[in-house]
Structure 1
Amino acid sequence: MKTYLRILQFAKPYSRFVPLYTIYTFLGIIFGLFNFTLIIPLLNVLFGEVGQKEAVVMAATKPEFALNIEFFKEFFNYYFGQIILQEGREGALLFVCVMVIISVFLANLFRYLAFRIVGALRAHVVRNMRHTVYQRVTELHLGYFSNERKGDLMTRLTVDIQEVESSVVSTLTVVVREPISIIAFFILLFNMSVELTLFSLILLPLSGGIIAGISKRLKRKAKEGQNSLSFILTIIDETLSGMRVVKAFNAEPFILSKFQDQNSRYARIQRSIANKRDLASPLSEFLGVSVVAGLLLYGGTLVLNQESDLSASEFITYIILFSQVLVPAKAMSAAFSNIQRGLVSGDRVLQVIDTKPQIVNKPNAKVLPAFKEEIEFRNVSFAYGDKPVLQDINIHIKKGTTVALVGPSGGGKSTMADLLPRFYDPTGGAILLDGHDIRDYTMESVRAQMGVVTQESILFNDTIFNNIAFNKTEATEEEVIAAAKIANAHEFIINTEAGYQTMIGDRGGKLSGGQRQRLSIARAILQNPPILILDEATSALDTESEKLVQEALNNLMKNRTSVVIAHRLSTIQHADQILVLQQGRVVERGTHDELLENSGLYAKLTQMQLTV
């Protein structure tokens, strides 16, 4: 119930939907009930139980207005008696048939209008939920995505939200309208016969308990099904991303077997869910008809023995009305069964929404002033959980200088670079820009002063122009071309099929590694940040591409403060300062020549690369 109510919160503001929906639903139910109450006069006319004598009595006195069922009953009988006296039984029959047609038309008209409101509500809820989940995903820190399966996140963003729409939001009509219908039916039934209605209420809870038991088991299976589906999407994503490796190792049978195992498990779970869900509707119908049969036997005996206040026509109408109670009851039991899958999906979606971002702006965080003097790491430490990665880092980076981070893998180079744009916050110490602790300022203003070029070129399935002008929608064609020229990218761009409007495919798959990297550099150049972070930007390239990319990087680094993570030490020989990191500590620092003279770890690493 808690999950259901939380999902409904995405319908705010309710004022757009609730008043009109309530009015339309109420009117639809009233006219629907009126259809069935017309059965009594119809049967009385057909069976001759209302003649001139009865009509005179019915039309004798016009009732005074009162807001209750008795007034409407007497008011109808008054006019019905008038019509019998004036038009005869044939005229009364025509009147009843016309009233049935009008009431059916109005009942279905208001039902349709209510459906339109629910349709708008459903679209509103799903849109708000999908927006909230996507926004929360963009707010989460990078470590979250390292711990979660991408396939599972994709399942929650797509399949789970779709399941919420089809299983939860779609049942809003049933959850709201059907209880009102049942209450209205029972008010009318109590008004006709208290004894028979109380007898029926003894039998109904039995069928409700059986349906609830089935639905509880259904929810458990639905949770297993959604988890299995997330595994399937993870396998698909990994297969598509790693197809080159799959084929290189002849691993098609292996990966297919892995997929088949999960696919078969999901199919078994879905079959079990379908069996339980499909059982709910026929079972509820069987139990409902059994209750009607018991009611017919008990009530019919009373009528035959003249122990009931109901006439034969009233008893028949009572049974018809009670049988109609089964329609909303059956709809509710089916909806209650279907809703279980949606509630499981809703829980999974809400888990993402409830995940708190670890990197957030402080209350009243200010905009970071423009960078002028230096970056300082002051006693900086960082740990992933209980595992220390950086310990007591103390460095000063003057504006306009280049600092290179080198050392063995796992030494903390990338982590140190990730702390600067606040992808993570240090667990100890502080990072200062011109003496300002960057945690006291908004993330947006900190990152606006930094450009990042990573080893893996992160490009999007869009045009070359839009990739360079990413998040800078006001950029002109001249500015984009100028950035591309500085990045040594203009020549290959104009030779593509559509120039700057060429689509580059998923992750830039239509381009070579060097071309993708130069587009990443052009994107950084266009942003024109005062601080650059280069994370092994040339390590994955061939010699020719590396030369072009290195030239582009040199152009990019002019008059900027740069933090460079280097795998190939030959690319950072001219750095103003080189920091050697080992096991999370700075073990050496100095220029290239100074470090070679020390004959320490840097000299050893340089020698190893020269001999390779």
Structure 2
Amino acid sequence: MKKFIRILKYLYPFKWYVVINVFSNVLAAVFSLFSLAMLIPFLQLLFGTVPLVEVKPEFVISAKGLAQYLNYYLSEIIKTHDRASALLFVIVLVLVASFLKNLFTYLSLYYLAPIRTGVLQNMRNLLYRKVVDLPLGYFTEEKKGDIISKMTNDVNEIEISIIRSLEMFFRDPIIIIIHLIGLIYISPQLTLFVLLILPLTGGVIGRVGKNLRKTSFKGQTKMGIILTMIEETIGGLRVIKAFNAENKVISRFESMNSFYSLLMKKMWRRRDLASPLSEFLGTVVVVLVLWYGGNLIFAGKGNLGPEALIAYIGIFYMIINPAKSFSNAYYNVLKGLASADRVDTILNAENPIKVSAGAKTIESFNHDIEFRNVSFKYQDDWVLKNINLTIKKGMTVALVGQSGSGKSTMVDLIPRFWDVTEGEILIDGVNIKDYDIASLRNLMGNVNQDPILFNDTFYNNIAFGVDGAKMEDVVNAAKIANAHDFIIATPNGYHTNVGDRGSKLSGGQRQRVSIARAILKNPPIMILDEATSALDTESERLVQDAIDNLMKHRTSIVIAHRLSTIRKADLICVLHEGEIVERGKHDELLELNGYYARLHSMQLL
């Protein structure tokens, strides 16, 4: 229930819509009760059992006062005209009450629509903002397909199961309470009997739905795994076909899909039991009410006449339908709460990258970047150990070493993709944790080994990090990155779509577009992570020229496997098992005849 209440907190921005909806439901229920209450005078007139009221009663706003005044008014119509005219008057009252009931029912739904859509819109926005805000480390632990499943299938399940049930939660309790007041007025004894047997039927329904939430949670989790398998299959199709592993992945997928289907079959059978079970139990209750009410009439107890019993049954039926809807909504909510649990794993995920109170905004890079006794580990094993390094403004510093030596981790610490475990990193003498993250990252540009492009145009990809970029600036950045010529050769030039992750381009072209993006941002600090390692010789030359243009007049930190690309670096740091074991210029390191010399000779061979 706490989870459901937490979801209802999403309604707060729409509180006035909720107020109007509830008020409209109250009026709709009142006019519904009034139209059914008209059955009593209608039947009394029809059977001729109504005694004429000779003395005009005092008008009092109460159920009894209104009934007395209506009987007097009907008596006047009968005396002035006839019983048929009084009957027609009652019918007109019923029609007017029915019209008003349906009008307010529509108004309640009219104002429920922005609540339904708005809550889901805000929930999706919160999820997307959270996913963008979470650190990179979160996504190394989670499956991409499962995250997508939570943001799509689970949010849709919340919409279907919970948000669409808001109508029942806002409407049905009001209908039940107001009609129950009418039943108490007609016969307190019979209503007491009803209130004694209704909890028994509710208990039966509750037992059926006991395990629904648990089963639904398992089903949604398996759907996340299925989406992960689909995403991995599409991404790795080349490898699957190359190793003739089609049957293996198909068998694995079909096994998981079969298990998911069994879970969903179990869940749907239990959920679909709600409607027929509640309908049968409702019929049992009506039969019991007829039996007990008939005995009250035969015994002359409870001031209950035949026409009053018929009206009582009519009003009671108006409670049964909302009660059935409420039980269905209960099942839906149980199923939806399982999805809410999964969505909460994202919304409640803690971001360890904190912005300190009173964080400074850094506008420019003036002096140096300093690693001071920096150590880092992801979980148990140390990836970096006691790193000390000062990078002066304008320097080009290269990081080299075997795979897994900690090069990428070291540069990821500077823009705070991760936070150091021990020690500190300072920019211009201030710990980077004391800077505002957005302004810190504004100082830096990144070019990665695997260039990340979006399924958009060349223009939008290059201008991605710059708001309101002019076309001439984009073109100039592309020229510096040696990308202009192949861009204008495409059908729509800079407005040509590059495809999913730049799939329409070669590796070298993708890399040059990403370099153009970094050039347009024009940051004082550049981080290049093996930007040419996956390219052929010609593409490498073009990209290297673009990188040389990019690095002019900037502080650059370069991760390189090809040592030929960093000969001119001001400082080369050799990392081995998380430690800087050598540092110096190219020629100096060769003279040491250590790690760097071995790497260099291996590449020459």
Q: TM-score range by the shorter chain?
A: over 0.9
Give how far 1:14 is off.
Answer: 4.1
Query: What is the DSSP-based 3-state SS (H/G/I as helix, E as strand, rest coil) of the residue aligned with 1:216?
Result: coil
- 1:285 alignment partner, one of 279, 299, 319: 279
Give how far 1:259 is off.
Answer: 1.6
Query: Is 1:244 aligned with 2:219?
Result: no
Counterpart of 2:29 in structure 1 is 29
Query: Is 1:298 aligned with 2:297?
Result: no
Letter in 1 for 2:324: K
Q: Separation in 1 of the partners of 2:577 and 2:175?
A: 70
Counterpart of 2:57 in structure 1 is 62
Q: Is the 8 A contact 2:179 2:316 kept in 1?
A: yes
Query: What is the DSSP-based 3-state SS (H/G/I as helix, E as strand, rest coil) of the residue aligned with 2:468?
Result: coil
Deviations 1:260-306 (A, max 9, x none): 12222222222111111110111011111111111211221221233
Matches within 5 A, 1:541-560: 541-560=535-554
- 2:76 alignment partner, one of 71, 79, 82: 82
Query: How high is the sequence identity, in percent, across the aligned residues?
Result: 51
Query: What is the DSSP-based 3-state SS (H/G/I as helix, E as strand, rest coil) of the residue aligned with 1:295?
Result: helix
Query: What is the DSSP-based 3-state SS (H/G/I as helix, E as strand, rest coil) of the residue aligned with 1:534?
Result: strand
Give how far 1:329 is off.
Answer: 0.7
Q: Is the 8 A contact 2:29 2:179 kept in 1?
A: no
Q: Separation in 1 of the partners of 2:412 and 2:77?
A: 87
Query: Is 1:15 aligned with 2:9?
Result: no
Q: Separation in 2 of the partners of 1:76 and 1:162?
A: 51
Q: Is the 8 A contact 2:189 2:302 kept in 1?
A: no
Q: Separation in 2 of the partners of 1:308 and 1:409?
A: 89
Give how far 1:7 is off.
Answer: 1.1
Deviations 1:459-493 (A, max 9, x none): 00000010000031311111011000100101111
Q: Separation in 2 of the partners of 1:397 and 1:165?
A: 53
Q: Separation in 2 of the partners of 1:12 and 1:462?
A: 37
Q: Is the 8 A contact 2:56 2:69 kept in 1?
A: no
Give how far 1:212 is off.
Answer: 0.9
- 2:247 alignment partner, one of 250, 253, 256: 253
More moved, 40-49 vs 435-444? 40-49
- 1:326 alignment partner, one of 307, 320, 323: 320
Q: Separation in 1 of the partners of 2:314 and 2:12?
A: 39
Structure 1 gap ranges (5+): none
Counterpart of 2:370 in structure 1 is 376
Counterpart of 1:4 in structure 2 is 4
Count residues in correspondence.
605
Counterpart of 2:411 in structure 1 is 417
Matches within 5 A, 1:76-155: 76-155=70-149
Q: Is the 8 A contact 1:402 1:575 kept in 2?
A: yes
- 1:392 alignment partner, one of 377, 386, 389: 386
Letter in 2 for 1:37: A
Query: What is the DSSP-based 3-state SS (H/G/I as helix, E as strand, rest coil) of the residue aligned with 1:61?
Result: coil
Q: TM-score, normalized by length of structure 1? A: 0.97
Q: Separation in 1 of the partners of 2:158 and 2:301?
A: 52
Q: Separation in 1 of the partners of 2:357 and 2:10?
A: 26
Counterpart of 2:434 in structure 1 is 440
Matches within 5 A, 1:157-556: 157-556=151-550
Q: Separation in 1 of the partners of 2:302 and 2:6?
A: 48
Letter in 1 for 2:321: V
Q: Is the 8 A contact 1:8 1:125 kept in 2?
A: no
Q: Separation in 2 of the partners of 1:447 and 1:365?
A: 14
Q: Separation in 1 of the partners of 2:521 and 2:269?
A: 57
Query: What is the DSSP-based 3-state SS (H/G/I as helix, E as strand, rest coil) of the residue aligned with 2:385?
Result: strand
CA RMSD, 1 decimal: 1.2
Give how far 1:346 is off.
Answer: 1.2
Give how far 1:85 is off.
Answer: 2.1
Give how far 1:165 is off.
Answer: 1.2
Q: Is the 8 A contact 1:368 1:438 kept in 2?
A: no
Change (3 A) 1:387 1:71: farther
